[in-house]
Amino acid sequence: MSAFSEIPPFLADAPARLSLPYLLGLLVLAVGVLLFLILKLRLQAFLALILSSLVVAIGSSAEFTGGKGKLALAEIGSTIESGMASSLGFIATIIGLGAIFGSLLEHSGGAQSLARSMLGFFGQKRAPWAMVLTGFIVSIPVFLDVALVILAPILYALSRTTGKSLLTYGLPLLAGLMVTHAFVPPTPGPVWVAYELGVGLGWVILFGVMVGLPTAIIGGIVAPKRMAEKLFIAPPEEDPTAVHDESKLPSFGLIIALIGFPILLIVLGTVAKEILASGIAEGLAKAEYDKQIAAALAEAGLGMKLLVFLGHPIIALLLATLGALVFLGYARKVDKSVLMEVMTRSLGPAGIIILITGAGGVFKKILGESGVSDALKEAFEGRGIPILLLAYIFAFLVRVAQGSATVAMVTAAGLIASLVDGLSQPQLALVVIAIAAGASAVSHVNDSGFWMVSRYMRMTEKQTLQTWTVVSTIVSVVGYLLAQLVWTFV
């Protein structure tokens, strides 16, 4: 007899379809399994997300529920496959290109050039402002942990020169890095959430900068000032054999141009699409909206078509990556085999992020096919909970529980996706920002970034909790509140 031939006792009196409490309980169980696998068994997030999706799929299958569930056991494998495939076409390309672009910037010394130019412009007295803006710009193409490693020597030099605590410059830098890492594409988290919610990256970039910059200033300049005054952290002694050859660094203008170029193209592409959409009714389903945009584009002139083509995130980032390869590689006569090694090495960490985001696509797909997404929508509709607050809470809870901002964003996007039907593109972009803010909160001992900060800022665990954890929480709350403020005008 099959293991699934009899209806489990707790489903014997269930209605003709799976009940709302059962489906919501299944969701709670899946999230619990996800956290258990990551926190207790130390399983890689990719595998944990797949297994959690499998819990929902089996628990809602027709065989397990006596014919009441939507999924068939035999179709679960293909559903996982389609969930993975539907997410990775766009995401994998963006993350891969972004990783190569960031590695070229890192290898050339572009991040150091940017930081030193900012310091020269602001001066030592306003060095914290230079650091927060440097972090804000550098973390657009470069992952936070990599950027911290690259820029740590500049922080140490500043602290030695001025005699001030390392935190005076380190916390502003970290706040800037953290904000754009979570809020502004093409970093993986906001790119994936934007894709899953069906919002153009141009809108996310626009609101990510609009909300993120004041958030970084408050979290990096205003909040840490007292912390740095009360807690003196000395920098490490300088290596007497260190060589400082700033003549080999790329120019500030070149780095700004390379980083700003794809962002400008994406924003222009978004503006062009909005012009095309001006005659389209609001509140359409995504498929119908895309169909009408395509029809309007077919009738548009060559200039409009060119803007939309160049403004597609893949094309924009591809052009920027080629520009970085030419101007930071070939034009500087870097050995071609070295460039090949730099680019290949960058795809290792990118592969992990791609798999995690793909597993997030599986989680979202299974939630939809099983009926859990509909149950979640039914449970929260009419409850009077603002959609931004709900998105923030979902991301906040997962972030605090398991530590990874990316996993928190991926999970929250899967949970909120069924609740955002009918929202405009600007509103959807603000939902992305709310999720990013929630996923930035309360960095503590289960977050790998916590230990990176502790190491490079030379703090004990207690000191890191008193400073970095507080700053990350301030960034989270301020980011959400500013997103809610912008929502009132949108």
Q: Which residues contact 236 (CB under 8 A, 6 or more apart)?
A: 156, 458
Residue with the two structure tokens 């923030």: 392
Strand partners, 61: 71
pLDDT bucket at 7, cuts 50 / 70 / 90? very low
Residue type, 465: L
Cα 408 versus chain centre, distance: 9
In this prediction, residues 104-113 reach a mean pLDDT of: 81
Burial class (CB in 10 A: 0-12, 13-18, 19+), 202: buried
Q: Which of 434, 446, 376 is nearest to 404 (CA)?
A: 446
Contact 122, 130 (CB under 8 A): yes
Q: How far is CA 83 from CA 87, 313, 359, 369, in A?
A: 7, 22, 8, 10
Is pLDDT at 443 greater than 60 in this prediction?
yes
- Reported as a single tens digit per residue, the pLDDT across 266-288 is 888 888 887 877 766 555 555 66
Is pLDDT at 329 greater than 60 in this prediction?
yes
Express as a percent the part of the chain with pLDDT over 90: 21
- Reported as a single tens digit per residue, the pLDDT across 372-381 is 877 777 777 6
The highest-confidence range among 279-283, 296-300, 321-325, 440-444, by mean pLDDT, is 321-325
